[in-house]
Amino acid sequence: MSTITGQPDSLDRISGAARIRMGLVEFIITIALMTASVAIAIDSMLPALSSIGQSLHVANANDAQLVIGVFFFGFGFSQIFFGSLSDAFGRRVVLMGGLTVFTLSMFAASQATSFEQLLALRFIQGIGAAAIRITTLAIVRDCFGGREMARVMSYVMIVFMIVPIVAPSFGQLVVFYASWHWIFTLIGCIGSVLFLWALTRMRESLPREERLPLSVGAVLAGFRTVLTNRITCGYMIGMTLSTAVICAYIVTVQQVFGEVYGLDEWLPIAFAGTAGGIATANLANGFFVRSFGMRRISHAAMILFTGVATAGYVMSLGGTPAFVVSYVLFSVLLMFFAVIATNFTAISLEPMGHLAGTATAITGFVSTTGGALLGGGVGQLFNGTLQPLFGGFALFGLFTILATLWAEKGRLFTHPGDQDVVHDHGVHV
């Protein structure tokens, strides 16, 4: 029976969605919408970057990328605090606080009168988004584990990917009919709705008896646990490089379409196409992950990603590839990215158990902050060609392979745990 339609099957029977008093479908949609608030805060900005730069008198066109980059940095930097807070006080109170900060800072940004003021508010928005991201991932980990977590996350990503499909069009329509300030106002309204939904529908997923004391020692102990676990640490490095991929793409995609190909007005449609490809990849991952396992799928994806990125870089050395060629390459690369990111996240958290909040915070802090710095660095190298982007992708892919080899002690596609299959209601875990 179909899980998404709500019909009973093995996943429903072992599902932890009831842990927060939700059905599985409602759980997936709720987590997806919470997570999507982060995406809409990023993707709706893309068509407005040039307008923001002109309105706030930004001298260097590449500096407009900071509207995205600073958000990523605030998002990554603050995650370290919310993991420990959610492990100590529960997921729900931290989620509600994050939604409050996110929403109020959006309304404040709609009144920004200088680029510096806007960047400061974008940093604060990133902090609020980090609280949302940490708690929603921890809730999923509280309720599911192993391959079931990867499967649920894949379905979450399918709903989540609706936002990147529509967000650039949303931003472009707002800029066309009003000003970029209204983008922040409308996102603030969305945040208000999410706050009310969480207040009335979501229950706590971490019982009091499973909570951890809040202390500097607990944070340091969490760091020690994560950094001394070979699997978690190695895949965290891979997640950092994956974040660098998507950050580099997002901060430069408007310039690629506008300056390289002169297709600024087609950005929302083209971006929707790549987002649709990512959703398709996550759907396929959710379907196949229980049969083949997270490692086999994600390891194959990272090798193929590196090969395609290298091919794109070699092509760009001979001149700018035709738009259709570049678009197909980027679409395929982002599909591989989706598979890698989803499975690497689940694999990295698998050994962490009740430390899910702290572990999510630490891996999120490292991967997002590091990825924002690496991806932002590639964005600043933009020179009117595709060489920095394809070259950066190829290097990120290569180092992901090396990090994974280290994590798995030189073995790809399988690991000892795959040989010890436990059956629970007919499901491989």
Is 251 inside a domain boundary?
yes
Query: Does residue 1 have a pLDDT over 80?
Result: no
How high is the pLDDT of residue 345?
85
Is 425 inside a domain boundary?
no
Q: Per-residue pLDDT averaged across 29-40, rounded?
A: 89
Is 3 inside a domain boundary?
no
For the chain, the domain total comes to: 1
Is 424 inside a domain boundary?
no
Closest CA to 100 of 133, 125, 70: 125
What six digits make up the tokens of 100?
A: 């409050």
Q: Is 410 exposed, middle or buried (0-12, 13-18, 19+ CB in 10 A)?
A: exposed
Predicted TM-score (pTM) of this structure: 0.76
| DSSP string across 251-283 | HHHHHIIIIISS-GGGHHHHHHHHHHHHHHHHH
What six digits make up the tokens of 40?
A: 């809409």
Query: Does residue 128 have a pLDDT over 90?
Result: yes
CATH code assigned at 48: 1.20.1250.20
Query: Does residue 2 have a pLDDT over 70?
Result: no
pLDDT band at 429 (very low <50, low <70, confident <90, very high): very low
How high is the pLDDT of residue 161?
67
| DSSP string across 314-359 | HHHHTSPPPHHHHHHHHHHHHHHHHHHHHHHHHHHHTTTGGGHHHH
Is 256 inside a domain boundary?
yes
> What's the whole-number average pLDDT of the chain?
84
Is 8 inside a domain boundary?
no
- What is the percent of the chain with per-residue pLDDT over 90, rounded to a whole number? 40
In 44-161, where does DSSP find H-type helix? 49-55, 66-77, 79-89, 91-109, 115-143, 146-160
Query: Does residue 39 have a pLDDT over 90?
Result: no
Domain limits at 247? Answer: 23-205+213-413
Is 252 inside a domain boundary?
yes
How high is the pLDDT of residue 357?
63
Is 269 inside a domain boundary?
yes
What six digits make up the tokens of 167?
A: 């967000």
